[in-house]
């Protein structure tokens, strides 16, 4: 008989604000708002629970937040610090299981099936996990444990902040019929409204809707909800198996000493690296540039960026500075390469810290080029390549293109 899975969802309560409170004990118990200083443009990226109780939460304009809570601590925040803390949280997860699936920079699913025999019961297991995080990082979290992702999330949401809820099979069967459809995975606001127009408010009512009707109205999602309404959630916790680096490089047919051509090539290589990062929904924390001279001597250097990014506009200044630093000889260059390192998921919080204009522009270019080809839009920086490389549909045909992943 197949062993029942034990799945947990860990939610780091008001993570960014909680990190600030852990770093500065004077902020503990006080409303903390991360996103910017009072009077600046922008929105609240994270609010502590003290601020939430007073009416300020994610997405509220900073000006409005200040009007409501003029005595709150307003902080710009530091994404590098938050990512370091999140890595430390994940290091704690790794001591319990290798099957960890982050879903944001404050939330992750864990498959704890292998921990079954190490603890007296699931409550003891959950308390141990919470205690380890609290002891090491002085951060609170909410934990939900059940036999599926769906009910692990439901359990996690039942006691916040700093709660622990275990939903076993018996309790799951008792809860399922009256479960509001909004708590079913992937039922968003619009879908919920349409389902309610059909008279469907709970999982038991959803079970009465024929599957062909759900398929016609919602496609693949409808087929999923047909299972979820019956308590069937076969989604597994997916361990991270992403690439450690993404790189692009080329060797020239003839060496070059033309700075504009070399810089244009680097920008094109950067475009290819950034495109791949966006396809993988990753951001890079470090960027490296390497070059090889005609005499086969090589030089390279790396730089840690202020914020992780996957857009050319954000990363190019670092690439330019690196190239100017390492290109010191009046000798022909035969090889150039760019490598993105310290990769991490492009979570919502990271994107909010990035320049929105830069990210939106990059996405728009990706969309146009995917439909009309690379050369439907290109920047002036790559113009020097037109006489050196043959143009192909998705870019320039480099002599030795390579992409690691």
Structure-token match 């939106």, residue found:
360
Q: What is the pLDDT of residue 322?
A: 95
Q: Where are the alpha helices (DSSP H) in 79-187?
A: 79-94, 122-137, 149-158, 169-175
Residues 219, 267, single domain; the answer is no
DSSP, collapsed to helix, strand or coil, labels residue 44 as coil
In a domain, residue 402? The reply is no
The answer to whether 144 touches 156, Cβ cutoff 8 Å, is: yes
In a domain, residue 237? The reply is no
Of these residues, 20, 50, 101, 107, which one is catalytic? 107
DSSP, collapsed to helix, strand or coil, labels residue 173 as helix
Give the integer Cα–Cα distance in Å for 125 and 331.
63
Which of 86, 227, 397 has the alpha carbon at shortest distance from 218?
A: 227
Rounded to an integer, the average pLDDT of 255-280 is 89
Residue span of the structural domain in which 365 resides: 246-397
> The CATH number of the domain where 133 resides is what?
3.30.70.270
Q: What is the pLDDT of residue 117?
A: 85
In a domain, residue 388? The reply is yes
In a domain, residue 233? The reply is no
For residue range 281-310, list pLDDT tens digits in order.
Answer: 889 999 999 999 998 899 999 999 988 889
In a domain, residue 404? The reply is no
For residue range 221-234, list pLDDT tens digits in order.
Answer: 899 999 999 999 99
In a domain, residue 183? The reply is yes
Residues 33, 87, single domain; the answer is yes
Residues 293, 314, single domain; the answer is yes
Residues 29, 161, single domain; the answer is yes
The answer to whether 393 touches 373, Cβ cutoff 8 Å, is: yes
Residues 179, 162, single domain; the answer is no
Let me know how long the chain is.
405
Residues 43, 128, single domain; the answer is yes
- Domain termination residue (choose one: 129, 147, 167): 167
Q: Which residues of 60-74 are buried (b: 16+ CB within 10 A; e: fewer)?
A: bebeebbeebeebbb
pTM for this model (two decimals): 0.72
Residues 213, 317, single domain; the answer is no
Region label for 390, one of left (φ > 0), alpha (ψ between -120 and 50) or beta (otherwise): beta
Give the integer Cα–Cα distance in Å for 165 and 154.
9
> The CATH number of the domain where 314 resides is what?
3.30.1490.100
In a domain, residue 216? The reply is yes
Q: What is the pLDDT of residue 75?
A: 94
> The CATH number of the domain where 179 resides is what?
1.10.150.20
Residues 159, 182, single domain; the answer is no
Residues 182, 149, single domain; the answer is no
CA 391 vs CA 74, 270, 396: distances in Å: 50, 17, 5
Based on the structure, what is the number of domains in the chain?
3
Q: Which residues pair with 33 in a beta bridge?
A: 47, 74
Residues 98, 221, single domain; the answer is no
The answer to whether 86 touches 342, Cβ cutoff 8 Å, is: no
Q: Known catalytic residue: 107? A: yes
For residue range 193-209, list pLDDT tens digits in order.
Answer: 999 999 999 999 999 99
- Domain termination residue (choose one: 167, 185, 211): 167
Q: What is the pLDDT of residue 307?
A: 83
Rounded to an integer, the average pLDDT of 46-60 is 94
Residues 27, 47, single domain; the answer is yes
For residue range 370-403, list pLDDT tens digits in order.
Answer: 665 665 566 666 656 666 666 665 666 666 655 5
Residues 69, 198, single domain; the answer is no
- Domain termination residue (choose one: 128, 145, 167): 167
In a domain, residue 97? The reply is yes
């Amino acid at each position: 008989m197949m062993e029942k899975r034990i799945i947990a969802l860990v939610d780091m309560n008001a993570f960014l604000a909680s990190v600030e409170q852990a770093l500065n004990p004077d902020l503990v118990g006080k409303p903390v708002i991360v996103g910017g200083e009072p009077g600046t443009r922008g929105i609240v990226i994270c609010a502590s629970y003290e601020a939430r109780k007073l009416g300020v939460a994610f997405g509220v304009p900073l000006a409005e937040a200040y009007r409501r809570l003029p005595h709150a601590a307003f902080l710009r925040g530091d994404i590098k610090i938050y990512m370091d803390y999140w890595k430390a949280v994940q290091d704690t997860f790794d001591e319990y299981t290798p099957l960890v699936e982050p879903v944001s920079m404050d939330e992750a699913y864990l498959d704890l099936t292998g921990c079954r025999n190490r603890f007296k019961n699931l409550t003891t297991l959950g308390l141990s996990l919470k205690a380890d995080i609290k002891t090491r990082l002085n951060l609170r979290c909410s934990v939900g444990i059940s036999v599926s992702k769906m009910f692990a999330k439901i359990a996690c949401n039942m006691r916040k902040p700093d709660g622990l809820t275990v939903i076993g099979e018996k309790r799951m069967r008792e809860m399922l019929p009256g479960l509001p459809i909004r708590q079913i995975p992937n039922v968003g606001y619009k879908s919920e409204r349409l389902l309610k127009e059909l008279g469907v408010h709970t999982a038991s009512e959803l079970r009465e809707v024929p599957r062909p009707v759900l398929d016609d109205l919602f496609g693949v999602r409808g087929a999923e909800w047909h299972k979820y309404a019956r308590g069937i959630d076969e989604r597994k916790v997916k361990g991270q198996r992403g690439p450690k680096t993404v790189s692009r490089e080329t060797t020239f047919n003839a060496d070059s000493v033309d700075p504009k051509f070399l810089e244009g090539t680097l920008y094109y290589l950067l475009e290819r690296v950034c495109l791949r990062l966006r396809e993988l929904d990753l951001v890079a924390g470090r960027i490296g540039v390497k070059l090889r001279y005609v005499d086969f001597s090589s030089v390279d250097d790396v730089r840690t960026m202020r914020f992780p990014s996957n857009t050319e506009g954000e990363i190019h200044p670092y690439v330019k500075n690196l190239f100017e630093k390492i290109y010191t000889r009046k000798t022909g260059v035969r090889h150039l390469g760019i490598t993105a390192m310290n990769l991490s998921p492009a979570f919502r919080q990271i994107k909010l810290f990035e320049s929105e204009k830069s990210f939106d522009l990059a996405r728009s270019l990706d969309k146009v080029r995917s439909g009309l080809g690379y050369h439907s839009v290109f920047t002036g920086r790559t113009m020097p390549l037109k006489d050196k490389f043959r143009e192909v549909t998705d870019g320039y045909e480099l002599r030795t293109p390579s992409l690691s992943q």
